Structure 1
Amino acid sequence: MNLVTPNRPGDETALPPISTMEAQAGVLGRMSVLRQYLRVFLRWRYVVIGAVATCLLLGLIVTLLMTPKYTATATVEVARESGRVTDFQGVEREASTLDQEFYQTQYGLLRSRALSERVASRLRLVDDPKFFELFKIKSEKPAFQLNNGRYPAAGRDERRRVAGQVLLKNQEVNPARLSRLVDIAFTSPDAAFSAKVANAWAESFIESNLERKIQATSYGRNLLQRQLALQKERLDESQRQLVAYASAQQIINLPAQGGAGTTTAERSIVADDLAALNTSLAQATADRIQAEARNQRSGQGGASTEALRNQAINGLRQRRAELAADYQRLMVQFEPEYPAAKAIKSQIDQLDRSIAREEGRVSGSAQADYREALQREQMLRDRVNKLKETYLDNRRRSIQYNIYQQEVDTNRVLYDGLLQRFKEIGVTGGIGVNNISVVDAADVPQRPSSPRLLINLAVSLLGGMLIGVVAALGLEQFDEAIDDPMEIQQRLGLPLLGSVPKIDGARSPRDELLDRKSELVDAYLAVQTNLAFTTEHGVPRSFSVTSTRPAEGKSTTALALATTLARANRKVILVDGDMRSPSVHHLGGTTHDRGLSNFLSGEDAIETLIFPMHDLGFTAMSAGPIPPNAAELLTGNRLSVLIALLLQSYDNVVIDSPPVMGLADAPLIASRVEGVIYAVESHGIRSSLVRTALNRLMSANARIIGGVLTKFETKRARYGYGYDYGYGYGRNAKTEK
């Protein structure tokens, strides 16, 4: 298990954080994709360059053949206006929405069929044959048949329709962003005609706008007049209904208080009476409360406030106090029966009776006032209660009255508003307010607006590049040739053991192998090195070399691997397993009279079937006589026996196997050896065919060690260059022999 430890200070060997590694991997992945697309472009660069050159040429030819056209532009200002027939508020939407709808409507009117036909009639284009010839309008209809150089009058409507369509087709409306300016552009082969149409279009738009406003004003005036008469009838009817109901229900209301223009409602007489009596009742209640308080205080005798404030009672009390004082002085010296004391006592008793009579008179007066106040309060309360009932009954009867009154008020407001608007329209009915004006009239253009050579060439360049890239990607997808070592694993799913360069046709594979500095030797040394990692014991002791079809380099691969293994101080034997088209005996300068087919037929003397290859350092066994059916010889177990016997004397057994497709020999040999090395010809074999052959080997339970790309040319590589590093490393012209 690989553990990723965090970086520590001073630890130079600590691994970077996982997030950093993932980010670097993502960057490398994107760079790899970009390099892949770049290599595809480089591989099919001639296709891309051809598409670009073709499109540029076509764009140049089309531009030169196109008729020059001139565009004239008139600029008008469209002001926002608020035209309302009635002056009611609160029924419009937001201003931004209204503005957008207004301007979109104006743009639509500028592109309307009616306006285009108006321009055609204004410029007298309907009866002008030159106009239709200018735009190449040809028709077999009777409306376009010339009679003495003129069109028939009967087809005027048809020609007006066609002329309007032609003008609309060549006219553009371009609103200036965030402004009220609108450009009216017209394009035609004639510069002066373009300017004339653009100016006529702007003037016709202004005229049609004024006509619509006049028509709308007249229509609004007539509509308001009818609505005014109808509203007057509704107002009169509602007033008569209100008066009739008030008379029937005996509802009498006083006029509203205030001056002219007051908004106070009418007042009811019952309400006024009830308010006045309610005020009197409140005052009577207050008086009764005061009288009741005085009456309660009078019950206290001489301690009451009225008694204390009464002068007669106060005088009698003072006289009594004086006599009581005299009586007390006599009692100091005399008895109560003393005549003088007795006379004073009689006076005191008389004064007491007088004081009691006065206090009784005061108390009676307070009681009388209380009874009078209570009676008055009760009378007023009864009157108020009766008026309340009358008022509530009046209120119930006034509900419908108020409904009629509201209807009268509403009809009066509507009538007044319509009357005011009718007067305004009457004043301004004959005046058209134009909200559209010409800012810049169209001038005769001095240069054609189309065709534009640079723009057309730029579009052609982009189109050619797009077509070329699409074609390159399409060809890349449909191309099944294996042109690059990376495709051995990507397309075939085989481990890549190495790539072998294509050798010069003037030298044979044997000559290349004898030259230890040749590129072929370097390549197969790399293959041998990779073979050492395919099994636990290093290079497989027995393996076969095969391919999909003949002439893919399998025999050269088998010969080269036997040579490199022998040079590694291993005892190697090369067996020619292709008994249908043997080739190993040519390398040894002998015949194939004795070889593999003899052993498979039953001979056991191996020494008579082999021959040495002294210059390459290994032993070889030829295919032997060509049998009638090689597959029958391979079906038995004689091949397994041969391999076992050879492994007793040799370190490695290399079998040059026949190709896979169309033959049963290769799967039979592959099932007897430890592994199979598959040779794939670069730039010459389809990947689908190779996959089919590999499936046949896998069906025979063969172990495919890996693939070797043969006859590889770096300049034709699909994914670029760089795979030839090491081929010829350290060599130069002086050291070659």
Structure 2
Amino acid sequence: MDPKASGLGQGGQVNDSYAVPPILKQYWHTALRWRWLIGAIIAGALAVGLVVTLLTPARYTADSQIEISREQKKITNVEGLDSSTADSDMEFYETQYALLRSYSLGERVARKLDLGRSDDFFAAHGITLDAGRFGAAGQSNLTAGQLAAREKLATKLLLDNIEVSPVRRSRLVNLSYTSRSAGLSARVVNAWASQFIAASMDRQLASTADARRFLEERLGNLRARLEQSEREAVGYASRNDIVALASVRDNEGKTQVQRTMIQSDLEELNTALNVARADRVAAESRLTGRGGDDNVDALTNPTITQLRQKRADVASDYAKMIVRFEPNYPTAQALMMQIKSLDEAIARETARVGNSRAQSYREALKREQDLGAQVAALKGRLDDQQHNAIQYNIYQREADTNRQLYDALLQRYKEIGIAGSVGVSNIVVVDPATAPSTPSAPSLPKNMALAFVIGLALAVIATLALEQIDEGISQPGQIQQLFQLPLLGHVPLTDSSVTDGIEDPKSYFSEAYFTIRSNLAFTTDHGLPRSFIVTSTQPAEGKSTTSYALARIIGRTGKNVLLIDGDMRSPDIHHLLGLDNAMGLSNALAGDDNVAALIQSTPYKGLSVLTSGPKPPSAAELLSSDRIRHIVGELQGMYDHVIIDAPPILGLSDSPLLGRAVEGAVLVIQAEGAAVRGVRAAISRLRMVNTHIFGTVLTKIKASELAYGYGYGYGYGYGDDVEHKAA
């Protein structure tokens, strides 16, 4: 046989044919192992789901939708008086959602619909009221305590059955209420929306009232501060002779004084001084200018002008007279006398005008000096006033600031009064609820799907728990993974007898042991071991069957095989072959040197048997001597192979003692029987006495394990219709 087919390579190394399958296949294998349990759990869950669905009263869900706009509350427009921080949109809407689920809103709805007195409301939620605590059904004269208890219970029921579902990325919120009454569900959800709007407006009005009270208090304080600051500004101006003739307010509301009385007087006096100075210069110029008739004053003086005109007329007459008469002519002399008289009058008038210029100069000079003194005095007063104006401006700025704050708060106070009287809500109902025509629960498809999921989950949990609790070995690949030992083969569980299974070379049973024999041939350099024991962890794992089957299979190949029943405590080989057990191994160990006489022949080719013999007082005591070595050595000279059916390892010392006398051991492990820790303990005991373990044989594998066993059973019973046990 090909070594690879046996699961062993040269030197007894395991190849990949018995490797642990992928994790998904392991899960599938586990599911197949526990398929009846899984099916039962899922079927039970579906049955429970069906019963619950059929017994659950119908429930109706009414839906409504509202829109919540972002509020922008602001008490004042003045920097420093408003809140310095504003909630983000997320915080605002999370607050609104919490308010929609608040206990106070539930109380409002319960009182609005008078649910405390409604027996139908409690019946719609499957609640039977305790007459002592809540009053009897239909009782009209409830006590205050009973009514309060009913309202509290109604509020709790409302909160338990209302559902608030915000619509993502929008300002919309869906409200749903579920009860056994379609009409009640619609009334409650509509009342929930309307009472939420009313509660929001109440909070807004309360906030407006608080703001008005706050502003009234602030306005009173600012009014007092404004009056005080204005009094201080006016008092300071009065004490320091600061009289403002013109003042204006700039864009920031600050008072700007453009002119004071001193500034106005100084401007007027300075203008008069300039005029006086010009008059004095003109008078001085006239005073120091040339005299005579060409003098400007003389030329412009009306008297002198008249006298000169009259003289010119007389002189003209005199000139005409001289042309005809002599100067001594009386008329001519009279004209001459008149001319002289006029010249004297002109001279006198001119002299008088000159004296008048000096007087005018002196008057102009005095007026200039007086005005200069007044201007100098006003400049001093203005300088003092400008120094005092610094403090005055401080008082004035404080008064302006207080007035600005007062005016702003007064305006905001008026706006809040108007807004409070309008009562505009930022919440509107988009879709009011109507009574649903079909129940929302129970839903048979949903409940059955949920029951299936729950049943599947319970089945998975139960299966995994049982897998963890079950320490048995169910998969051939686990042998190498858990114990690092070669797997020589695995034997299916059959309901036929051992002898019948071995007799049929095409049976699963026979094919399995032929494979084990083939794999065992690769465990040593010289082929099949000359001598070995077949043992197990605990009784009833199939070690006797395995030793018998291997002896039969090896004998068929033409080898002389001796099968020794080494289990002197509970022998079984003589039962399998129908032999007498009066004499056997125990006699040889006790001192009978004629071992050959103790061996019995069988009708099977190449097979001889040494039964266990009479049960000794202490089998371990017999095996602990060196006689077993001599007996095995002697028998190896007589037979090609010596196979010993050894007792189970745990709790007994027989198998380790027998293992010292042979080349090695074959460990039989029952599928889903022996615990992992027990197998490890058995392996450890064999290795403690330096017994080489050729490999393991996994026995009693169910047909289902072979059918879904990842190919381990491929070829067993090929072309055969032999039926085998499935469980």
| Alignment TM-score, normalising by the size of structure 2 | 0.71
Name the stretch that deviates more: 185-194 or 104-113: 104-113
Distance (Å, rounded) in 2 between the aligned partners of 1:641 and 1:260: 128
1:462 is matched with 453
Counterparts in 2 of 1:602-617, with a 5 A limit? 602-613=591-602, 615-617=604-606
Q: Aligned in 2, Cα 1:698/1:434: closer, same or farther, shift over 3 Å?
A: same
1:164 is matched with 155
**SS at 1:182's partner residue?**
strand
Amino acid in the other structure paired with 1:202: A
Larger radius of gyration: 2
Amino acid in the other structure paired with 1:628: P
Matched, 1:501 2:492: yes
Listed one character per residue, the Cα deviations across residues 449-469 of structure 1 (whole Å, up to 9, x for unaligned) are: 211111111111110111111
Amino acid in the other structure paired with 2:153: V
Amino acid in the other structure paired with 2:421: G
Distance (Å, rounded) in 1 between the aligned partners of 2:528 and 2:412: 109
How many matched pairs?
584
Matched, 1:201 2:201: no
Amino acid in the other structure paired with 2:475: D
2:563 is matched with 574
1:444 is matched with 435
Q: CA deviation at 1:613?
A: 4.1
Amino acid in the other structure paired with 1:131: F
Q: Is the 8 A contact 1:484 1:718 kept in 2?
A: no
1:35 is matched with 25
1:647 is matched with 636
Q: Is the 8 A contact 1:36 1:719 kept in 2?
A: no
Percent identity for Structure 1 against Structure 2: 44
Distance (Å, rounded) in 2 between the aligned partners of 1:237 and 1:264: 17
Tell me which of 468, 474, 477 is aligned to 1:477.
Answer: 468
1:296 is matched with none
Amino acid in the other structure paired with 1:412: R
Structure 2: gaps (5+ residues) = 1-15, 264-378, 723-727
**SS at 1:430's partner residue?**
helix
Q: Aligned in 2, Cα 1:93/1:76: closer, same or farther, shift over 3 Å?
A: farther
Matched, 1:61 2:75: no
Q: CA deviation at 1:584?
A: 4.1
Distance (Å, rounded) in 1 between the aligned partners of 2:229 and 2:581: 132
Counterparts in 2 of 1:682-721, with a 5 A limit? 682-716=671-705, 720=709
Q: Aligned in 2, Cα 1:238/1:472: closer, same or farther, shift over 3 Å?
A: same
Q: Is the 8 A contact 1:595 1:624 kept in 2?
A: yes
Matched, 1:413 2:404: yes
1:279 is matched with none
Q: Aligned in 2, Cα 1:250/1:523: closer, same or farther, shift over 3 Å?
A: farther
Q: Is the 8 A contact 2:707 2:713 kept in 1?
A: no
Q: CA deviation at 1:656?
A: 1.8
Tell me which of 197, 214, 217 is aligned to 2:208.
Answer: 217
Matched, 1:431 2:417: no
Q: Is the 8 A contact 2:558 2:605 kept in 1?
A: no
2:519 is matched with 530
Matched, 1:144 2:135: yes
Tell me which of 227, 230, 233 is aligned to 2:221.
Answer: 230
Q: CA deviation at 1:428?
A: 4.1
Distance (Å, rounded) in 2 between the aligned partners of 1:423 and 1:503: 101
1:173 is matched with 164
Q: Is the 8 A contact 2:133 2:149 kept in 1?
A: no
Q: CA deviation at 1:202?
A: 2.3
Q: Is the 8 A contact 1:127 1:150 kept in 2?
A: no
1:669 is matched with 658
Distance (Å, rounded) in 1 between the aligned partners of 2:417 and 2:614: 125
Amino acid in the other structure paired with 1:164: T
Distance (Å, rounded) in 1 between the aligned partners of 2:396 and 2:558: 128
Tell me which of 509, 524, 531 is aligned to 1:542.
Answer: 531
1:329 is matched with none
Structure 1: gaps (5+ residues) = 1-24, 273-386
Tell me which of 601, 611, 619 is aligned to 2:590.
Answer: 601
Q: CA deviation at 1:131?
A: 3.0
**SS at 2:421's partner residue?**
coil
**SS at 2:690's partner residue?**
coil
Amino acid in the other structure paired with 1:129: D
| Higher normalized contact order (CA 8 Å, seq sep 6+, divided by chain length) | 2
Listed one character per residue, the Cα deviations across residues 643-683 of structure 1 (whole Å, up to 9, x for unaligned) are: 22233343332212122244332221112222111112334
**SS at 2:695's partner residue?**
strand
Tell me which of 172, 177, 184 is aligned to 1:186.
Answer: 177
Q: CA deviation at 1:32?
A: 0.7
Counterparts in 2 of 1:505-516, with a 5 A limit? 505=496, 507-509=497-499, 511-516=500-505
Q: CA deviation at 1:492?
A: 4.6
Distance (Å, rounded) in 2 between the aligned partners of 1:260 and 1:546: 111
Listed one character per residue, the Cα deviations across residues 416-452 of structure 1 (whole Å, up to 9, x for unaligned) are: 2112212323444422122222222211110112111
Q: CA deviation at 1:545?
A: 0.9
Report the RMSD for the aligned CA atoms in angstroms: 3.8
Matched, 1:659 2:648: yes
Q: Is the 8 A contact 2:255 2:397 kept in 1?
A: no
2:93 is matched with 103
Amino acid in the other structure paired with 1:417: A
| Alignment TM-score, normalising by the size of structure 1 | 0.70
Amino acid in the other structure paired with 1:559: Y
Amino acid in the other structure paired with 2:29: R
Q: CA deviation at 1:132?
A: 3.4
Amino acid in the other structure paired with 1:498: G
Amino acid in the other structure paired with 2:464: L
Distance (Å, rounded) in 2 between the aligned partners of 1:66 and 1:139: 23
Name the stretch that deviates more: 222-231 or 603-612: 603-612
Q: Is the 8 A contact 2:492 2:706 kept in 1?
A: no
Amino acid in the other structure paired with 1:210: M
Distance (Å, rounded) in 2 between the aligned partners of 1:244 and 1:203: 60
2:619 is matched with 630
Distance (Å, rounded) in 2 between the aligned partners of 1:74 and 1:699: 80
Q: Is the 8 A contact 1:39 1:718 kept in 2?
A: no
Q: Aligned in 2, Cα 1:124/1:597: closer, same or farther, shift over 3 Å?
A: closer
